[in-house]
Amino acid sequence: MVMGDVLISLDDKTEKMLRKLAKERYGGKKGSLSEAVTGAIVDSYENSVKKRREAVAELVRIMKKGIDLGLKGDEKPYERRSDLYKSRFKSFD
């Protein structure tokens, strides 16, 4: 497997937490810092993907359900798009 090098800077407190985590989870052996960082990145990425999928599923559910705008039949709340702005903004003419 080809690996890349990444140089990061951590404050002392975060570095201590990383080293403690690496020691607890990976026994402090050679490469344990890399394993701990890799695990954190993978977990974060997978969590992000999961949240996006859940958000998309919720939006699809809402779209399938539909939104009641209080209109009857083919009734339109306005004739032209510009009508929406006439009541909201003063004319600068």
With contact defined as beta carbons under 8 Å apart, do 22 and 33 qualify?
Answer: yes
Q: What is the pTM of this model?
A: 0.61
Burial (Cβ within 10 Å: 0-12, 13-18, ≥19) of residue 7: exposed
- The confidence band for 3, taking pLDDT boundaries of 50, 70 and 90, is confident
Please say if the pLDDT value at position 89 is more than 70: no
Please say if the pLDDT value at position 93 is more than 60: no
